Every structure is written in structure tokens, then in C-alpha cells.
Amino acid sequence: MTSFSCAQLAKLEMPKMPVTVGIPVTPSADEADETEIGHLLIVDDQPNSRLLLGDLLQSIGYRVSEAESGNQALQMLKTFQPDLILLDVMMPGLDGFEVCRRIKANDETRLIPVVLVTAASDHKNRVRGIEAGADDFLSKPFDESELLARVRSLVRQKHLNEDLDHAAQVLFAIARSVESRDPTTGDHCERLAQMAKSFGEFLHLPRPLIKVLMWGGYLHDIGKVGIPDAILGKTGKHTPEEWEVMKSHVLIGEQICRPLRTMKEVLPLIRHHHERWDGSGYPDGLKGEEIPLVARIFQIIDIYDALTSERPYKRAFTVQEAISILREETDRGWRDPQLVEYFFEFLRSRALDLE
């Protein structure tokens, strides 16, 4: 099997907000006003260290929760998402490096900025922190201005990332609405996303490419939101003029997703998943390996799911029939022959009858 590689914030005079150990604070209506600039979690087994950091950060408007140990911090993260974690390295039980590693390995918490706080500023500990996924480091005794500058910068970045995440959710919602315009496709996008993940893992693709394939499952046809219903839902053959409008969905989809930085790697899939190996596809007539790898992989999955699903104009083909049609299209020069053979191997590995 072949593996593919691939502002500044002014100080605010305000009442102190409560600090709790082990329980994230839910502010009262009076406290949850515009002066709150972020919720921080301090993890340190030394009460005096937590008190010092907490008082300083509260004084400029941050809300603070505390954890006495790494295990307690991990439990707290199951119920709330702080804007930043200040994590002491030298703690009994789970040390800061291991806690950081677990935070960054969890999809639910990996985007929370983690600052490792340690009295040891040697090169070895910084390397360990980088390997664990830490976003920044702070040495004891810390400089107050340095601490506040780093906290402000990381919290600001966290809020920007959240805005991007919300924008991405809007795009996925649009994609779902497009799918709902054609109820005959069922859960086509969900099936594509799951099969893309499985096939990508079979090909030993790196995780970022697998993510692109999965997002492509939902977003590949998002441009159909700009196609009139009379054309999108037509069951008969399209006129040449209608077909040109229909083909424009890949360009519309690319334009919709392009402004969002997090969608950058998905754009080639959205634009090029209707290209053909021999150059006869659209929109750019790319040929062979000019077609992005993710688009070549995805189109095979997309075609297979369409063939094996029931539609008003066709029955669901059997696995063997779908394989036969994919072979015919490959012989015509439409599909990447090597990837098609890998896809057949993938289907065999799933114990599907190809004979």
C-alpha cells in the first residue's frame, strides 16, 4: 500500500469576581457584563501561587477558576471551556507536560491556549513543553507586564479562532440546507464524510488531509445553493444552457468558502471534484496529477455512494455493479486508475463482496 504525504486593554476598576477551586464560576447577571474579557483556568498545586496569579488577573477584568491538580483540571474541562490555561509544570501526580499533552490530544480542548509556568527555564523543559503542544511559556518569578501581555495576546487569538469556528458552522449549515433541497439524496453528505475518513485512513493519509476529505463530504456541493430549483431539481436531461448553470456550482462553492481561512485546504476539492483524469472534466479541464489528490480521491467516493444509493430516476446498484461502472469510467480515462484499484482494495478490506 502506498502512503501519501502531504487593543491593547486598559486596566479596569471593577469589583473582584469570585475565584473557585475545582468548580468553574458561573457569573451572576450583574457580573456577566461587557467588562469581562475572558475566563482563565489556573492549575497549580501551590495555593499561594494560585492566589498571586488570580489576584493579578482579576484586577484587570479576567474571571478566574482554579484547579489544585492536573487530574482536577482535566475533569473541569469536561464541563467548561476557559479562554486560557496557566499550567504549572511541577505538580504531584500528573505533571504539567502530561496535562498539556492530554488537552492538546482532545478535539474538544486542543484549541484552548496553554501557557506552561515553571521555575525551570532550561532548554530541555522548553523542548518537552513544545512536544506537549504548549502555546507559550512563563518562568517563575514572572514579570507582571510580560505575563499580562502574553495572556492578552493568547486570549485575543482564542476569540478570533472561535469567530472562525462559528463562521465554519454557518457554512456547514448552508451545506445541510442544500442537501435538504434534494430529499432523495438522504444522508449523502454524512455517508461521504464517514467513507472519506475510512478510505483516507486506509491510504495512510496524514490527519490534515483526512480532515479535508471529511469536510469535503459536507461542503463539496455547497455551491448548489446558487443554482435555481428548476435546474437543480430537474429529472430530465438538462439543456446545454442549463448544464452550464449547473456546472457553475463548483465555482460558486469555492467563492462561498474562500473568505474563510480555515477552509483554504478544502477549496481545491470543492472546485475540482468534477475534473477527469483525461482532462475532459470541469471547470478547468485539469488532467492526470494536475488534479489535486484530495479531489481525485473524493470523486471516487462520491460516485460510488451515488451509484449504490436509490434515487427517483434509478435503483440502488449492487456493489458489483458499482465496481463495474467505476471500471468502465476508468477505462474511458475518467478516473485515476491507481486510486480506483486502491478503492477496490479498501472495499475488500470492509468484507464487501466484489466478485
Within-domain flag for 355: no
Q: What is the per-residue pLDDT for 40? A: 96
Same structural domain, 271 and 185: yes
Domain count, the chain: 2
Q: Any bridge partners for residue 138, and if so which?
A: 117
Within-domain flag for 157: yes
Query: What is residue 107's predicted lDDT score, i.e. its pLDDT?
Result: 82
- In this structure, the answer to whether residues 333 and 209 fall within a common structural domain is yes
Q: Which one-letter DSSP state was computed for residue 346?
A: H
Q: Is 287 a catalytic residue?
A: no
C-alpha cell at 1: 500500500
Query: Do residues 174 and 192 lie in contact, with contact meaning Cβ atoms separated by under 8 Å?
Result: no
Q: What is the DSSP letter of 119?
A: S
In this prediction, residue 232 carries a pLDDT of: 85
Looking at residue 36, its amino acid is E
Same domain, 324 and 263: yes
- Whether residue 119 lies inside any domain: the answer is yes
Domain residues for the domain of 140 are 20-161
DSSP 8-state class, residue 311: B
CATH number at residue 75: 3.40.50.2300
Phi and psi at residue 104, to the nearest 5°: -75, -20
Q: Are 73 and 41 in contact (CB under 8 A)?
A: yes
| Same-domain check for residues 193 and 141 | no
- CA distance linking residue 295 with residue 274, whole number of Å: 8
pLDDT of residue 37: 77
- With beta carbons less than 8 A apart as the criterion, state whether 204 and 187 touch: no
Tell me, yes or no, whether 118 and 222 share the same domain.
Answer: no
pLDDT value at residue 239 = 94
> Looking at the structure, do residues 142 and 188 belong to the same domain, yes or no?
no
Last residue of a domain, one of 161, 193, 226: 161
Q: How far is CA 288 from CA 36, 223, 278, in A?
A: 55, 25, 6
- The confidence score (pLDDT) of residue 54 equals 92
Give the model's pLDDT for residue 352: 60
Residues 99 and 149 both lie in one domain: yes
Catalytic residue among 11, 104, 224, 237: 224
What pLDDT does residue 30 have?
A: 40
Per-residue pLDDT tens, the chain, 355 aa: give them: 445 543 332 332 333 344 455 545 444 334 333 334 789 999 999 999 899 999 999 998 999 999 999 999 999 999 989 999 999 998 999 999 999 999 999 988 988 999 998 876 667 778 888 899 998 888 888 888 888 888 988 888 888 777 666 777 778 888 877 776 655 555 788 899 999 999 999 999 998 899 999 999 999 999 998 999 888 888 788 999 999 999 999 999 999 999 887 889 999 999 999 999 999 999 999 999 999 999 999 999 999 999 998 876 678 899 999 999 999 999 999 999 999 999 999 999 987 655 4
Residue 262 near residue 169, CB atoms below 8 Å: no
State the Cα–Cα distance between residues 3 and 205, nearest whole angstrom.
Answer: 6
Q: Three-state DSSP class for 40?
A: strand
